[in-house]
Amino acid sequence: MGIVSTIMGFFGFGVGITIGLVIGYYLFIYFQPTDVKNPEIRPLVEQDSQTLQRLLPEIPLWVKNPDFDRIDWLNKFIEVMWPYLDKAICKTAKSIAQPIIAEQIPKYKIDSVEFDALTLGCLPPTFQGMKVYSTEEKELIMEPSVKWAGNPNITIAVKAFGLRATVQIVDLQVSASPRITLKPLVPSFPCFAKILVSLMEKPHVDFGLKLLGADAMSIPGLYRFVQELIKDQVANMYLWPKTLEVPIMDPAKAMKRPVGILNVKVLRAMKLKKKDLLGASDPYVKLKLTEDKLPSKKTTVKHKNLNPEWNEEFHLVVKDPESQALEFHVYDWEQVGKHDKMGQNVIPLKDLTPDEPKVMTLDLLKNMDPNDVQNEKSRGQIMIEMMYRPFADDEIPKESEDPNAVDKAPEGTPDGGGLLVIIVHEAQDLEGKHHTNPHVRLLFRGEEKRTKNVKKNRDPRWEEEFQFMLEEPPTNDRIHVEVISTSSRMGLLHPKEALGYVDINLSDVVSNKRINERYHLIDSKNGRIQIEMQWRTSS
Structure confidence by residue, pLDDT tens digits, 311-347: 888 888 888 888 888 998 988 887 766 788 888 889 8
User: pLDDT at residue 400 above 50?
Assistant: no
Mean pLDDT of the chain: 80
In this chain, the answer to whether the domains covering 257-390 and 418-537 adopt an identical fold is: yes
- Identify which of 211, 194, 134 has the alpha carbon closest to the alpha carbon of residue 428: 134
pLDDT given for residue 205 in this prediction: 78
Residues in the chain: 539
pLDDT given for residue 320 in this prediction: 81
Name residue 315's beta-bridge partners. 263
When mean pLDDT is compared across 22-31, 97-106, 107-116, 319-328, the lowest value belongs to 22-31
Distance CA 123, CA 100 (A): 28
Domain ranges (residues) in the chain: 75-251, 257-390, 418-537
Cα distances (Å, whole numbers) of residue 457 to 46, 123, 430, 537: 47, 44, 8, 36
The reply to whether omega before 495 is within 30° of 0 (cis) is no
Distance CA 165, CA 249 (A): 41
Distance CA 538, CA 411 (A): 7
Distance CA 524, CA 508 (A): 25
pLDDT given for residue 519 in this prediction: 93
Q: Do the Cβ atoms of 420 and 401 come closer than 8 Å?
A: no
Q: Do the Cβ atoms of 494 and 452 come closer than 8 Å?
A: no
Q: Mean pLDDT, to the nearest integer, of 510-522?
A: 90
pLDDT given for residue 401 in this prediction: 45
Q: Mean pLDDT, to the nearest integer, of 43-71?
A: 70
Residue-wise pLDDT tens digits, 228-267 = 777 777 777 777 878 888 787 766 566 666 778 888 999 9
pLDDT given for residue 27 in this prediction: 57
Residue-wise pLDDT tens digits, 438-467 = 999 999 988 888 899 988 899 998 888 888
pLDDT given for residue 186 in this prediction: 76
Q: Which CATH superfamily is domain 418-537 in?
A: C2 domain (2.60.40.150)
Q: Mean pLDDT, to the nearest integer, of 124-141?
A: 83
Q: How confident is the model at residue 55 (pLDDT cuts 50, 70, 90)?
A: low
User: pLDDT at residue 85 above 70?
Assistant: yes
pTM of the model: 0.54
Instruction: Kindly report the CATH number that applies to the domain delimited by 257-390.
Output: 2.60.40.150
Q: Do the Cβ atoms of 193 and 242 come closer than 8 Å?
A: no
